[in-house]
Amino acid sequence: MTDGRSPAPLLTDLTSAQVTDAVRGRTVVWPVGAIEQHGPHLPLSVDLILAEGFAEGIARELDAFVLPAQAVGARSLPQSGGGLHFPGTVYVAGDTLVRFLRETLSALAALPMGRLVVVNGHYENEPFLFEALDQVREQGLFDGAEVFAFSWWSLVRDTWAATEIPAFPGWHAEHAGVTETSLMLHLRPDLVTDERPDHDDPPRAGIYLHPVDVGQTTHRGVLSSTSGSSAGLGERLLRHVVDEATALVRDGSGLLFAQSRPDRHPDRSPGRRPDRASDHRPDPRPDRSPDRSADRAPEPGGAGPGADLRAPDHRPDAQRRTAVHAEGNQQ
């Protein structure tokens, strides 16, 4: 982002002696991108630069550390990235990417961070990233920490896209199109050429074809239209996604235990929510409710006032939390 603010601190600028205490309970943001062709007007580094740009904005809002971006991603596909028919794309096979991401995440889990946020900038990365995260989760390596992972376009609201991009073709076909061109015009205009190629017949999503006629699925590596691209649109899109990501992380949307977190209370205004995952401040107000346990009759069987007569719950913690969540919704 080019607003003159200080950049988010890089995790890699810390020494080995500093890193443990520095990240304890803090948020770490990791951008994941790719090296992929993006038509004749954009550089091979688009997915990398955009992931870094969103990660930087999110990290600054959350007072977080940011990691250097992962540059090599999954294979480009014809229906979403133009495929391998254009020079410059560098990729690894899906199983290799899953293993790399899993081992990197496992190493990161050794740090006492409170929260990891992974920002994906390459369409084809998403299933492999989520698979790696699930494998790490199953090993219990992030127990006690929160993990958020998303592709930046997944946070763009439909109403925003409908207003700002009237001829929106769908995110699978927004390859080298109006959104990526606009974001690059905002973040790195020096890397954008003057050409604005359009493809009038964007490919449909979820279809695998062999053989592929790249003359039909793309126009020189562009899957949709670049018409209407501007630095202003890119700036608004970047701000929109950063705001949505910050709200998602702060509110804990979708997390089972979010309701029990002091920094996730729905009644608090966004400005009062702590940014650090470890900042769980106790309620300073004293409990003024009178203790009426002495007024109650003894429980059957000689149990004292207020005794919990339920059978012990030996289920794992995750099952108990899920059950409590479900029971609370039934009341």
Which residue out of 38, 41, 186, 199 is catalytically annotated?
38
Options 61, 126, 180, 251, the catalytic residue: 180
Asked if 113 and 28 count as a contact pair (C-beta separation under 8 A), the reply is yes
Looking at residue 70, what DSSP letter applies? B
Residues in the chain with pLDDT values less than 50: 1, 254, 256-331
Domains annotated on the chain, with CATH: 12-252 (3.40.50.10310)
Catalytic choice (41, 172, 174, 175): 175
pLDDT the model gives residue 276 = 38
- Is 122 among the catalytic positions? yes
The predicted pLDDT at position 253 comes to 59
- The yes-or-no answer on residue 172 being catalytic is no
Specify the long-range contacts of residues 12-15, CB closer than 8 Å, at least 24 apart. Answer: 12/67, 12/68, 14/65
Q: What is the pLDDT of residue 201?
A: 77
User: What pLDDT, on the 0 to 100 scale, is given for residue 260?
Assistant: 41
Identify which of 42, 57, 45 has the alpha carbon closest to the alpha carbon of residue 6.
57
Selecting among 56, 61, 122, 126, the annotated active-site residue is 122
52, 56, 61, 124: the active-site residue: 124
**CA–CA dist 214, 223 (Å, integer):** 10
How confident is the model at residue 214, as a pLDDT? 72
For the question of residue 124 being annotated catalytic, the response is yes
Catalytic residue, from 36, 52, 61, 244: name it: 36
DSSP string, 27-45: EEEEEE--B--BTTTB-TT
